[in-house]
Structure formats: structure tokens, C-alpha cells
């Protein structure tokens, strides 16, 4: 694997490899000093055009636990000059002799473009979320979290609920869940589904109450305020009434079924506050596993062949 | 026969009257002075194995001057046009300032006087292309403007478009529409469908184009004004135009080479080279465009040559401007990809667009004594590989780089002046 741009590029073996590596890094994370020297001397840059403190910190923590040097470029700071083109910024970073660039951008496809521009130089690119396209490390940590609770994903039924149309998390997770053998049902009003689902290995439902008793996991997507002004839903109140995971609806789920959310949550919109805290919720596990999964990805992309994960 | 200063020798003349082996003699005034066997002149230009045809006419060229000279100028764009076999291009009015009044029309005409092909400006329908009030169409028509369009955008307001069409009937001009309903297209960056959904790029539905095609057909029926549909890209649009023509309405249409060669699947790598408006559509749409070109529903191939400076295309897909260059590849894409006889290809590239542009007196007409020698000499069997680095355009946003094409322009004559010889611009 040269870059991590999209789950759609990955086969099942690579995902399994990330899962296995993540096991080791979870173990590292539980040590008194949760750090290994694997990437000593390597430099990882986080290039965030979209503010996302949680994702950025998760990547930077992962890189530091692998002993890599970390540089941060963010649009809020002066390090990305106003008006400087994306390509110029990437060239500047590449010229610093970095080993990996972790890119977050509001436009779909930017990590792919960055990967093309650095192709000659050997720099690795990791997609930390691009527009409505993909967020592959989120999907990998979601798969890992589901496996912790459910064992294998094979044959599991997972409902992804909400704004699939605008969701990079949904696109990555649909690819990841289905390649690992789960059945995915999208539950949303038609206005929040992609215009075309040709080639998507999913079923579609507009009735959350009917789906909840059947699923092993329900994945709630973040619902944004703007969707109301774009006339995609009449109001957030109506959205919650039809598609929110309220306490009443959570009761419909089978014993052992789990609730996921990529964060940050709009409590009271797509998920009720008490549901987010209930025993079925694995939302805090998702955050905790994020660092270990990202360590696994950095290890796969940057560590020498056959390097030992937990040496020292 | 008048005295020939130049003879195009050994070729086969091809125009709308047919094909025949003949030399073409050109006089000192730049007119054709002889068409026949074994003609002599002071200077001989070899056309062995080649077709000698009327020069090509592009209904849709963005020359970017005034205002965006870093992307193209009238001079550089006209050089690319001449290399592509064009002897006339219609310069789109979405310049800065827009070609929306006599003074800007005059400026472009003056720049065009020194160009390597005839440059005839299209005028804007509305002031500043803002879609709010009519531009002074009569004052522009008086300077020879024949085609009016707000290209880059469609005239959104149906009432304003109706008035423009009514007004146009008194001037004998044609309104060209970039058909795109903004309420449906807003925020979109590629064709809405399988690929936009997968790639997470907001889409532009086919319906955004088709709604305006339908509306303007209805307005043409109401007003009697001719309307020319720019760059049709969807199967639905073409079906609407086919029905309008069957009804006898005064509608004409063009399609671009990229809409008969490329689909939305090209966007898979997020390269803004493949961002264009109207967007690259589905395979079914490409098939419909080809069928429309074959059966005459679409009257002309137009390039929508849209140069953009390199750095603007090295941006995120949704931030990059739409458009691709096309003047140097249009003929060869048509001969290579359409599967039509070369006569049909030239009908689409020369004589029909010449008529739509109001340029038939000078361009596209038969290769005959007394006509201006605006000619193109084509080697129909030459095979070449598209290399944007060698383009005469100031811009390099060519999505066909590396493609092997068959059919190449060898010489281009502008009123008897060889502006291109053996594939090289002469000035
Ligand atoms: Zn246009």
C-alpha cells in the first residue's frame, strides 16, 4: 500500500492486516509509556484545510507514539499562506523532506491530487477526510470497534442512518463493512441519499423503526443544521422525529446490538443524549481505538518491511 | 482564369458539392481563381494524398481577450485555430469586460484583424451577462455581430429571454443559449449520476440542461426567433431538438468533441482537466450525441475551446474553473471517433457552422472561382499523438494528451495566405 486514499482501493487482506496491527497498538497504548521507536527519524505532516481538532490530534498522537516527528499545517495558522495554491503548499511541504502527509480538505479528491503531485518523491499520503468522498481511517476504526463487540462482521446487519449524501464517513464505511461481509442498509429520507446508488452494495429503507429490530449495529451520521436551509429536510425537529435514535427507538434494538457515531454528536438531533451514554453505545471506544488504528496505518505505510511493531 | 500566385496541387477538393481531383489556384487578391486539372502558379503548395476543403468554422471559441490574457489572446487562440484547420471562429462574449456593447465588439474585431483566422465576436444577450436587462443588440448587430449569447450562463429569466427573442427577430440575428437551469445546477461540478454519487462531488443533473432546451424551443415557437443551442450534452436535449426540427422550428444545435468522446467516468481521478460545463455525461449521452451528429439533429461540431491558466486547474476539483481547450484536436477527434464519412465530418465542422454564424459568404462555401480562398488541406490518413506541450494555445488544459488520432491538418489558407504550412504556423 503506497497511500491510504480510499477504502474502495483496499482489499480484505489489507483491512485484516490493519486490524491485526491495531491489536498490537492497542496493547502498546495500554503500557505505562505508550510509545515505540518504530518511526524514529520519520516526519509526518498534518495538512488540515478543514478544522478538525479530534482527527488531527488522533493522527498526531498516533505518529508521536510511533516516535515520528510531527509537523502541523493548518489553515487557521499562518503556515498555510492565504492565497497560496494547494499545489504550491504541497510542494513546499514535500521539499522539507517529509515522509507522510495527512490531508484533510473540504473538497472531494484532494488527497488523490496530492498523491499524484508527490508521486515521484516517495511521500506517502493519508486521507483524513475529503469533502463528501471518504474518511478511510474512520471506517477502519469503526470496523475495529465493531469487531471488539461483535467478533467478525461477516453476516452482520448494519444500518447507516442519516445524511449519506454528504457523508464521507458513510462512503468509507459502506465500502469497509461490505468488503468484510456485513449487510448494509441505508436509512434516510430520499433527499439525504446520493442521487444514484448504482453499484452500491446496499439496501435502502425510509423506516427506522422497522430496521432497528433487525440490526446488529446502527451507525448514526451527523446531521447538520444547513440541511434545513438547503430544503433537504423541513426541519431538524422533523428529522429527529423520523430518523433520530430516541430512547424509545433504542428500545427496539436487539440485545447486544451496538450504536456508533463518528462524532461530534448533535445530541437531541440524530441521537438522544441518554442513548449516547447507554451500554449499547460504543462511541467512546471509537475515539479510543482511533489512535491505535492510525498507528497501524502509519506503520503499514512507513515502517520497513517486516518491522516489529512492539520492539523495545 | 485570373493570374494565380499560388496553386494547391495534387489534392482532392471536397466541399458540399462533392469530391473531385483538382488543383486550386489562388490569385493576388486571395480569391480562388481556378479549380481544375494541372493548374500552374508562382508558388506551389503540395496537397498530394490530401483533401482540399473549405476552412473550418468554430461557433464556440473562448479567446479570453480582453481580460484573461494569461490564459489566451486573440492572437494565440487564432494560431491554435489555424493549426486546427479553422479559418473563422466565433469569439464568446464572456470576456472581462463582457462583449456586451459596440466598444468591446470593436476592440475584439480590431484584435481579430491581425489574427491567423477570422474572428467574429458573439455579443452578450444581457448587459454584463448578468441576466437582468437586454444588452444593446442593435448597436452590436450593426457592427456585424450575428450570434448573441450569455454563454457561461443561460438566461435564467424566461420573460427576459422571450423579450430578447422577440427583439432579435427585428435584427435578423440568432440567439445562442447555454442551457443550464441554475436552480437545478447550482453547486454542481460534474454530471449528476453514478460517478458523482460515488466520488462525493455535487452533481449537475441532465434535467438542468433539458429544462432550458424545452423552454427555449417553446419560446422559439412563440416568437418565431431562431435559437441556437450551444454544446448540447444530454440524450434528452437531443431528443427535444429532434422533435423541434421535425415540427419545423428555427432551431439549430452544436455539440463539442469532448461530449462525443469522454464520459463522467473520466472524473474518477479528480483531475480538473476533466471538469467542463456542461459536464461530461454518461455513456448513453455520448451515444446520443453521436447519433444526433450523424442524423443532422445536431448541426455542427463546436469546440467550446476554453483555455485556463495551469495554476487554476491545479486546484481542488470543486474550485477549478470548468473548460478544456479543443481547437487543435476537433477535426481529428471527429474523423477518428465519429465513424462518419469525411464529407459528413466537414459538413459538421465547416459549411453548416458557417451558415449558423452568418459567415457563409466568406467561409464554408464551395471551393469555387470567385470565392475567398479560406481553405484547409487535410491529410486524412496521417496519424499523430496529442501533445499539449506543442500547442499554440497559451493554455495546456487538454484532456486528450497522449491520444492517438487519425486525420491531420496540413495547411490552412486565410484569404489565400498560407497561415499554416505542413502543420507549422507561419506567423
Ligand atoms: Zn457554455
Residues of chain A positioned with their CB less than 8 A from the CB of B206: none
pLDDT at A78: 53
Is the Cα torsion angle A57, A58, A60, A65 positive or negative in sign? Answer: positive
Smallest CA–CA distance, residue A87 to chain B, in Å, is 6
Closest to B352 measured CA to CA, from B302, B410, B278, B408: B302
Give me the active site residues of A, please.
Answer: 54-55, 82, 104, 135
ipTM of the complex: 0.94
Q: Which domain holds residue A43?
A: 7-134+289-302
- A309 in any annotated domain: no
Specify the number of domains making up chain A: 2
* A113 domain residue, yes or no: yes
Could you tell me where in chain B the CATH 2.30.40.10 domains are found?
Answer: 6-52+369-420
Q: Chain A closest CA to B267's CA: distance in Å? A: 10
CATH class entry, domain B6-52+369-420 = mainly beta
Q: Which residue has the cell 482532392?
A: B12
Element (H, E) at A178: helix A168-179
Contact of B197 with chain A, judged by CB distance below 8 Å, is answered with yes
Element (H, E) at A44: strand A43-48
The set of residues, in sequence order, having a beta carbon less than 8 Å from that of A9 and lying 6+ positions away, is: none
Distance CA(B221)–CA(B233), nearest Å, equals: 22
Strands A183-187 and A202-205: parallel
Tell me the per-residue pLDDT of A155-203, one tens digit each, with 9 for 90 and over: 999 999 999 999 999 999 999 999 999 999 999 999 999 999 999 999 9
The pLDDT averaged over each successive group of 10 residues in chain B (427 residues) is 88 97 97 96 96 98 96 97 98 97 98 97 98 98 98 97 98 98 97 98 98 98 98 98 98 98 98 98 98 98 97 95 98 98 98 98 97 98 97 97 98 98 97
Q: pTM for this structure?
A: 0.95
CA distance A134 to A166: 10
Domain membership flag for residue A246: yes
Asked if the Cβ–Cβ distance from A108 to B317 is below 8 Å, we say: yes
Find the residue in A nearest to B195 (Cα): A196
Residue A6 Cα, ligand 1 centroid: separation in angstroms? 33
Residue B405: which H helix or E strand, with range?
strand B404-414
Cα–Cα distances in Å, from A114 out to A242, B166, B197? Answer: 40, 51, 22
Alpha-carbon span A65 to A29, nearest angstrom: 8
- Contact of B96 with chain A, judged by CB distance below 8 Å, is answered with no
Give dist(CA B389, CA A206) in Å, integer: 53
- Give the pLDDT confidence score for residue A306 in this predicted structure: 47
Q: Is B149 near chain A, with CB under 8 Å?
A: no
Mean of the pLDDT values across residues A128-144?
A: 98
**Domain span(s) for CATH 3.20.20.140 in chain B:** 54-356
CB distance B200–A195 less than 8 Å? no
Q: Which residue of A has its CA nearest to B203?
A: A195
In this structure, the answer to whether residues A75 and A85 fall within a common structural domain is yes
Query: Are A51 and A96 members of one domain?
Result: yes
Residues in A closer than 8 angstroms to B197, CB to CB, are 194-198, 200
* Chain A residue numbers touching B203 (CB-CB < 8 A): 195
Contact A195/B203, CB-based, under 8 Å?
A: yes
What pLDDT digit, counting tens, does each position of A35-71 carry?
999 999 999 999 999 988 899 999 999 999 999 999 9
Is residue A1 very low, low, confident or very high in pLDDT (cuts 50, 70, 90)? confident
Which residues of chain A make contact with B199, given a CB cutoff of 8 A?
Answer: 108-109, 133
pLDDT digits (tens, 9 = 90+) for B335-345: 999 999 999 99
Q: How many CA atoms lie within 13 A of B371 on its CB side?
A: 21
Q: For position A256, which CATH number holds?
A: 3.40.50.1370
Specify whether A75 is located in the same domain as A194. Answer: no
Q: Residue B110: which of B73, B60, B69 has the closest Cα?
A: B73
pLDDT digits (tens, 9 = 90+) for A74-120: 776 655 656 788 899 999 999 999 999 999 999 999 999 999 999 88
CA pair distance B378, A211, nearest whole angstrom: 65
**What is the reported pLDDT for A312?**
43
The predicted-structure confidence for B83-104, as pLDDT tens digits, reads as follows 999 999 999 999 999 999 999 9
In whole angstroms, give the CA distance from residue A70 to residue A64.
7
Class of domain B54-356: alpha beta
How many CA atoms does the CB half-sphere of A54 hold within 13 Å?
13
Structure-block grid coordinates of residue A15: 483491512
Q: What is the 3-state secondary structure (H, E, C) of B278-328?
A: CCCCCHHHHHHHHHHHHHCCCCEECCCECCCCHHHHCCCCCCCCCCECCCC
User: How many CB atoms are closer than 10 A to CB A112?
Assistant: 25
User: Does A120 lie in the same domain as A172?
Assistant: no
Q: Do A192 and A220 fall within a single domain? A: yes
Do A192 and A231 reside in the same domain of the chain?
yes
The band of A308, judged by pLDDT with boundaries at 50, 70 and 90, is low
Amino acid at each position: 500500500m503506497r497511500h491510504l486514499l480510499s477504502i474502495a482501493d483496499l482489499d480484505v487482506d489489507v483491512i485484516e492486516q490493519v486490524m491485526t496491527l491495531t491489536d498490537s497498538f492497542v496493547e502498546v497504548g495500554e503500557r505505562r509509556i505508550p510509545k515505540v521507536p518504530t518511526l524514529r527519524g520519520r516526519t509526518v505532516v498534518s495538512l488540515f484545510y478543514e478544522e478538525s481538532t479530534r482527527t488531527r490530534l488522533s493522527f498526531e498522537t498516533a505518529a508521536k507514539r510511533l516516535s515520528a516527528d510531527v509537523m502541523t499545517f493548518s489553515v487557521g495558522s499562518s503556515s498555510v499562506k492565504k492565497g497560496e495554491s494547494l499545489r504550491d503548499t504541497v510542494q513546499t511541504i514535500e521539499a522539507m523532506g517529509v515522509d507522510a502527509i495527512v490531508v484533510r480538505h473540504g473538497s472531494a479528491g484532494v488527497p488523490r491530487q496530492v498523491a499524484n503531485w508527490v508521486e515521484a518523491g516517495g511521500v506517502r499520503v493519508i486521507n483524513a477526510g475529503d469533502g463528501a468522498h471518504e474518511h478511510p481511517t474512520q471506517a477502519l476504526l469503526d470496523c475495529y470497534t465493531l469487531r471488539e463487540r461483535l467478533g467478525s462482521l461477516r453476516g452482520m446487519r448494519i444500518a447507516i442512518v442519516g445524511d449519506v449524501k454528504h457523508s464521507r464517513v458513510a462512503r468509507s464505511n459502506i465500502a469497509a463493512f461490505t468488503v468484510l461481509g456485513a449487510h448494509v442498509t441505508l436509512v434516510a429520507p430520499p433527499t439525504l441519499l446520493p442521487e444514484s446508488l448504482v453499484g452500491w452494495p446496499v439496501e435502502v429503507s425510509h423506516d427506522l423503526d422497522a430496521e432497528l429490530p433487525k440490526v446488529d449495529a446502527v451507525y448514526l451520521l451527523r446531521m447538520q443544521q444547513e440541511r434545513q436551509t438547503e430544503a433537504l429536510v423541513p426541519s431538524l425537529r422533523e428529522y429527529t422525529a423520523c430518523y433520530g435514535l430516541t430512547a424509545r427507538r433504542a428500545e427496539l434494538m436487539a440485545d447486544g446490538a451496538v450504536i456508533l457515531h463518528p462524532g461530534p454528536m448533535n445530541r437531541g438531533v440524530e441521537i438522544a443524549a441518554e442513548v449516547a451514554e447507554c451500554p449499547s453505545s460504543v462511541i467512546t471506544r471509537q475515539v479510543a481505538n482511533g489512535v491505535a488504528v492510525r498507528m497501524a496505518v502509519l506503520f503499514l505505510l512507513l515502517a520497513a518491511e517486516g518491522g516489529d511493531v512492539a520492539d523495545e | 482564369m485570373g493570374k494565380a500566385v499560388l496553386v494547391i496541387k495534387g489534392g482532392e477538393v471536397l466541399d458540399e458539392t462533392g469530391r473531385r481531383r483538382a488543383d486550386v489556384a489562388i490569385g493576388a487578391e486571395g480569391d480562388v481563381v481556378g479549380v481544375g486539372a494541372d493548374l500552374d502558379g508562382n508558388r506551389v503548395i503540395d496537397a498530394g494524398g490530401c483533401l482540399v476543403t473549405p476552412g473550418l468554422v468554430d461557433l464556440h471559441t473562448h479567446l479570453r481577450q480582453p481580460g484573461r490574457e494569461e490564459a489566451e489572446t486573440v492572437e494565440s487562440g487564432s494560431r491554435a485555430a489555424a493549426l486546427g484547420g479553422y479559418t473563422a471562429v466565433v469569439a464568446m462574449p464572456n470576456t472581462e469586460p463582457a462583449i456586451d456593447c459596440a466598444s468591446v465588439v470593436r476592440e475584439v474585431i480590431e484584435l481579430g484583424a491581425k489574427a491567423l483566422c477570422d474572428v467574429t465576436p458573439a455579443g452578450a444577450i444581457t448587459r454584463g451577462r448578468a441576466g437582468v436587462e437586454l444588452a444593446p443588440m442593435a448597436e452590436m448587430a450593426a457592427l456585424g455581430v450575428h450570434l448573441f449569447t450569455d454563454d457561461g450562463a443561460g438566461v435564467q429569466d424566461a420573460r427576459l429571454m422571450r423579450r430578447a427573442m422577440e427583439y432579435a427577430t427585428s435584427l435578423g440575428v440568432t440567439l445562442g443559449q447555454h442551457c443550464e437551469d441554475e436552480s437545478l445546477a447550482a453547486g454542481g461540478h460534474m454530471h449528476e449520476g453514478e460517478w458523482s454519487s460515488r466520488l462525493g462531488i455535487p452533481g449537475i443533473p441532465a434535467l438542468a440542461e433539458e429544462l432550458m432546451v424545452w423552454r427555449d424551443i417553446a419560446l422559439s415557437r412563440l416568437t418565431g426567433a431562431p435559437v441556437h443551442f450551444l454544446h448540447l450534452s444530454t440524450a434528452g436535449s437531443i431528443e427535444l431538438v429532434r422533435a423541434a426540427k421535425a415540427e419545423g422550428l428555427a432551431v439549430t444545435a452544436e455539440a463539442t468533441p469532448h461530449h462525443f468522446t469522454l464520459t463522467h467516468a473520466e472524473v474518477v481521478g479528480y483531475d480538473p482537466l476533466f471538469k467542463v460545463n456542461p459536464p461530461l455525461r454518461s455513456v448513453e449521452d455520448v451515444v446520443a450525441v453521436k447519433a444526433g451528429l450523424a442524423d443532422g439533429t445536431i448541426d455542427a461540431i463546436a469546440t467550446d475551446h476554453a483555455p485556463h491558466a495551469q495554476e487554476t486547474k491545479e486546484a481542488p476539483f470543486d474550485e477549478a474553473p470548468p473548460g478544456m481547450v479543443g481547437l487543435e484536436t476537433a477535426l481529428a477527434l471527429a474523423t477518428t471517433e465519429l465513424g462518419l464519412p469525411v464529407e459528413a465530418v466537414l459538413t459538421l465542422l465547416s459549411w453548416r457552422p458557417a451558415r449558423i454564424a452568418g459567415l457563409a459568404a466568406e467561409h464554408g462555401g464551395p471551393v469555387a472561382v470567385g470565392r475567398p480562398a479560406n481553405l484547409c488541406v487535410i491529410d486524412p490518413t496521417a496519424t499523430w499523438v496529442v501533445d499539449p506541450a506543442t500547442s499554440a494555445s497559451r493554455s495546456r488544459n487538454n484532456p486528450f494528451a497522449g491520444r492517438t488520432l487519425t486525420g491531420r491538418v496540413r495547411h490552412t489558407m486565410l484569404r489565400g495566405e498560407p497561415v499554416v504550412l505542413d502543420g507549422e504556423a507561419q506567423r
